[in-house]
Structures are given as C-alpha cells and as structure tokens.
Structure 1
Amino acid sequence: MTSEQRPSEVPGGEPWQWPERVWRDLVGRVRAGRDLTPASWPGGARVAVAISFDSDHETPALRDGHTTPGVLAAGEYGARVAVPRILRLLDEHGVPASFFVPAVSALLHPGEIADYAAAGHEVGVHGWIHERNTLLSRADERDLTLRSLDTLERLSGRRPVGIRTPSWDFSPDTLSVVRELGFLYDSSLMAADEPYELLEDGEPTGVVELPVEWIRDDAPYFAMVRYAGLRPYTPPREVLRVWQDEFDGALRDGGLFQLTLHPSISGHRSRIWLLAELLRHITASGPVWFATHEQIARHVRTEGGLG
C-alpha cells in the first residue's frame, strides 16, 4: 500500500496473490473509452493547443502544514509577480488559457480570479487546498469539490465546467463525484495523447478527458524541496526542446498539444521566456487553434457524438 491509497481500497494479500477478478476490477474502474480526436479543428487549424496553469500558490505548503513565511513566500510570488507577468504575455500573443485554481488560492487572491475572467481565460476546479483527494472519503471529496465550484463561481462570475484533481489522480469515488456535479471534462489522467471519453466500470460516461503528461509539465523539471533532495536538474533551454518536440508530434498527428505550467515555477525571469519562445514556435508552424480546455472539450464532445 502506498501513502496515496486509502486502506479501504487496497485488497488483502500480496498483489501476486490476488484473484484475476480483483486486479481486473481495479484496472477497470476508470479507463479510456473512445478516441475523441475530431476529423478537423475549427478554422482549418492543423492542431489544437491548450495552455494551462495550475495556480497553486500557497496551497501545497498549507496542505502539508508548512506555515513558515519563507515557504509561503514562494507561493505568494506566483500570485504577486508571476501571474501578472503571465497574463501580459498571453495578451501579447492573443492566447486564451485555462487556469486551474484551488479554492483557497482563489480566496487568498480574489482579484486574480477576476483578472482571469476579465481577460477571457477559463477558470477550472483544482481542489480546495490542493488536498490529496485519493486519501479522502467520498463525502469529503464531494464536499470539497462542491465548495470549490461554488467559490470559483462566486469569484469569477461563471460556474466552472472542468476539473483537474490536485493530485493528478482519481480516488475510487472521483469519477462518480465528477459525474454527479455535472463536469464537462477532466484533465488529470494520462491514457492517451488525444482527448478521449472516460469509462467507469466499462460504461461510457460522456465525460471528456483532456490528458495531461509529466513530460508536458514544468514541475518535474524545475521543482525544488528545500529540506529534501529534490532540485531543478534540467536547463530551461532543454525543456523548450522537449516541448517543441511534443508540439511538433501533435502537429504531425493533427491532434492536441496540452501543456501545464505553474505560475510560481514558470513565472520567473529565467523561465517565462521559455513560454514566449514556445508560443512563437507554435505560431510559426501554420494554422493553429489556441483554445481553452473548455472550448476543446466542447468541440471534441460534439464531433465525437457525445451530445
């Protein structure tokens, strides 16, 4: 059993002792259904581009009980310095983005949510305090998700339709909560490069998955933990090459290029240029559809016949 699993969800005995029905049931809880890659993207674009930001700010530290000013200041930088810098860059390039925000981040920085909405960006759910949802009971997970929806709706003026779980993972109850609360899409899982429909116990759900990937996330390359061994190990210019290659592959396939950034990580002077260079590379490639995650989910849902 890992620290990310509730005891109640772990079968007894060693994994090699599980009957076939046990591991089949576990694997079959949430799976990828039909591929939702559309035959075409709007405006004759050859590829869809979904840029997203997880505006965590102080919440991962608060979740873990780390409350010293030095730790919290790193998150405050994301809201105070990085977000305005990012919004200026997106405006310069005319690129819409999706911001997934823990509700506590939104309550600490309500003006930021208003700025996202005013600029035409999407605001999506990202938990209450960046909790590890895989450790929660269904009642707690539902309560925190619903409170997050209500908070973001009040601050942005529009009820979110998309969710990205704070742990990029599902508990045994996450998908049923997502369905009950009426989300259009999730963006937490990694079963494909392209959008797909989520299955729950083998049954189609109508929920669109816009898959993420650690390759297309800034944290694995740049994250640091002060009192542990985690240190940045990849120069930004090398990360740019990786993301350019990921985009070029999506372009060849006529598919989706999805990217996840964190303001407190990628909003620094030595890294923000990376996004600027990537956007220039993407724009120079030809007809491209820059869209929010919501816009892409609605398009592939319609084109895929999900209604």
Structure 2
Amino acid sequence: MSEPHGWDETTWRGLVNQVRAGRNLRPDTWPGGARCAVALSFDSDHETNELRDGGQSPARLSWGEFGSRRGLPRIRAALDRHGFKASFFVPAVSALLHPDEQRDLAQDGHEIGLHGWIHEVNSRLDHATERDLMFRAADTLERLAGTRPVGMRTPSWDYSPNTLAIARELGLAYDSSLFADDDPYEIVADGEPTGIVELPVEWIRDDAVYFTMNRFGAQRPYTPPEAVLDIFTREFEGAYADGGLFLLTMHPHVIGYRSRMFILETLLERIADRGDCWVATHADIARHCAAAAGLKGQT
C-alpha cells in the first residue's frame, strides 16, 4: 500500500468504514425513571500487564498481584456499601491465576466480561490467532464464572481489522472499546448495522492514564488524585445533566491504593446522593438500550 497521501478515495473510505458509529441508542427513559445510567468497570489485568510483553520481572508481577490481593477487596467493599453492581473485564490468564475472585464476583451479581487471553495486542495478531484467543478466553471465563460473557473490552482498547467479525461470531451483545460518542450507539460494519451495542470509553475516564508508573520508561504519574476526582466528577455531572451514560474505567492495581481509593469512594457517594441514577452492569445497560431501540441482535 502506498503512503497515505497517495491513497485513493476507495482506500481511505474503506478503512474508515470498517467499524463506524451507527444510530444513537440512548433510550428515552432509564429504568425506574432514573436521570442517567452509570456503568462502573474495572479491568482486572493483574499480572498480565507484565506477561503480555514477555516480561519476567517479579517486581512488575507483584504490582499486578496487588490488584487482586488489596485493590479488588477495597473496590468490592466500596461497591457493597451502596449495593452497586459493576462489570469486571478479565483477561483469561488473570482469571486462571485468580479463579475464586471471578466466582465470588459473579455470585455477588457483578459481571465478568471478556478482556482478551493475556491482555494481548489484537492489531499485532493474525485472524486465526486472535480468534483462537478470544474463543478460548470466552470458554475459560464461562467455566470459572459460571456464565458465558456477553460483552467484551479489548485489551488496551485495541482493534484489529478482524476483531468485530470475531465478536459477531461469538454472538456478543455489546462492546466497550470504542470512542465515537458519549452515549451508547449501534456499531456499523462496512455500512451495515450489526445489532451490537457500543458502550463507549474514553481515556479521560480511565484511571491508568493519570497514575501509571514505569521505572524504566517515560511513564510517570502526573496528575494529583484530587484533580482526577474533579475530572471524573465533571464527566459524571455532564452525563447527569444530559440524561445519558456515565461510564468509568478503573484498574484494581491502579485505583486500589489508600491514597487513591477516596476518588472512587467520593464519586460513589455523589452518585448515591443524587438518588436517581441507575447504576448497572454493562450487560444490563446494553440490554436496556437494545430493547428500547428494538434491536433484534446481530444481523
């Protein structure tokens, strides 16, 4: 393929249209007359952040272990105080390393969603490898959590040209890896509606971008926790004012420290104090949006 400035219209338009935002799926009403929907999600990457790149550092692996050992129990306690249910997106290797964690979460009514096999980068994989990993991950989570996943979040929100087709083959109801809106929308593939609900993400609504530390790289925490709370709160208040969706992505090994948990705890208090927010799993929100829009599932 030539340099991008030499592409013809068929080439660049075809690339853009592979995965596109279709109709807006924000419903006219949320359950119980709620003003807005709140989707709290936690990517339980744990040790796979190190394993994915072939890393063998016991120190980096222990950072992931902290997420399961300390971070996740603190998160669950904060959610339990309000009776809120959340979605946990779990690489299959993380689930195999911490199987009781997945079973306990599922038994408590939280959702376990697809998040790759070992937090791989999909765009570096051929179709057969990506498909094998996604199907094996779905089988593994079903075996450990007792319920087959109905939605996915790709590792690092990375899409290959094959990812959506594999998701459709898996029969997934929703994805939460794309950025084209604040509110839910239907994913369109090459101009055709898919019946898959997108619950869009954003880096500014992700704790990792503010707090990630890599001793041997250029990544350093740069934002005070109070500022992160302010950003998340403004995002929530905006969604509340619009009557839309507030979706937040967090990581047990990032948010789960004593000096950061107040961000989540304060935000949950504010959401609870509103009294008219529907806090639900991604799966439940996707189902509601699909039903309200009359989606018949994948086409």
- Relative to the length of structure 1, the TM-score reads 0.95
- Note the alpha carbon deviations across 1:160-216, whole angstroms, 9 max, x for none: 101000020211111100001100000000000000000000000000000000010
Match of 1:49 among 22, 38, 55: 38
1:185 aligns with 2:174: yes
The equivalent of 1:303 in structure 2 is 292
Deviation at 1:30, TM superposition (A): 0.4
User: 3-state SS of the aligned residue for 2:196?
Assistant: strand
* CA-to-aligned-CA distance 1:107-138 (integer Å, 9 cap, x gap): 00111101111211000000000000111111
- Quote how far apart the aligned CAs of 1:26 are: 0.4
What displacement does 1:286 show?
3.4
1:174 alignment counterpart: 163
Q: Paired residue for 1:272?
A: 261
Q: Which runs of 5+ in 1 are unaligned?
A: 1-11
Partner residue, 2:127? 138
Amino acid at match of 1:266: I
Q: How far apart, CA to CA, are the structure 2 residues paired with 1:21 and 1:151? A: 40
Q: Distance in 2 between the 1:89 and 1:20 partners?
A: 51
Q: Is the contact between residue 50 and residue 293 of structure 1 (CA under 8 Å) also seen in structure 2?
A: yes
The answer to whether the aligner puts 1:37 opposite 2:26 as a matched pair is: yes
2:196 pairs, out of 207, 228, 232, with: 207
Shift of 1:293: 0.1
Counterpart position of 1:283: 272
1:252 matched to 2:241? The reply is: yes
Matches within 5 A, 1:75-224: 75-224=64-213
Deviations along 1:69-91, one digit per CA (max 9) or x if unpaired, are 11100000001111111111111
* Structure 2 partner of 1:225: 214
Q: For 1:88 and 1:167, how far apart are their aligned partners in 2?
A: 26
Deviation at residue 240 of structure 1 after TM alignment? 0.5
Instruction: Give the AA of the match of 2:270.
Output: H
Query: Per the alignment, in what secondary structure is the counterpart of residue 156 of structure 2?
Result: coil
Q: CA deviation at 1:285?
A: 2.3
Distance 2:56 2:104 in 1: 27
Deviations 1:145-166 (A, max 9, x none): 0000000000001101010000
- 3-state SS in 2 of match to 1:167: helix
What is the CA–CA distance in structure 1 between the aligned matches of 2:244 and 2:235, rounded to whole Å?
11
TM norm structure 2: 0.98
Quick one: which amino acid aligns to residue 175 of structure 1? Answer: L
Deviations 1:38-60 (A, max 9, x none): 00000010000000000000001
Q: Gaps (5+ residues) in structure 2?
A: none
Q: CA deviation at 1:143?
A: 0.5
Size of the aligned set, in residue pairs, is 296
Q: Does 1:243 align with 2:232?
A: yes
Q: CA RMSD in A?
A: 0.7
One-letter amino acid of the counterpart of residue 53, structure 2: D
Query: Which AA in structure 2 matches 1:132?
Result: V
Q: Which amino acid in structure 2 is aligned with residue 50 of structure 1?
A: A
Runs of 4+ with deviation above 3 angstroms: none
Say whether 1:67 aligns with 2:56.
yes
Letter in 1 for 2:140: T
Q: How many percent identity over aligned positions? A: 61
| Paired letter, 2:139 | D
8 Å Cα contact 2:187/2:196 also seen in 1: yes
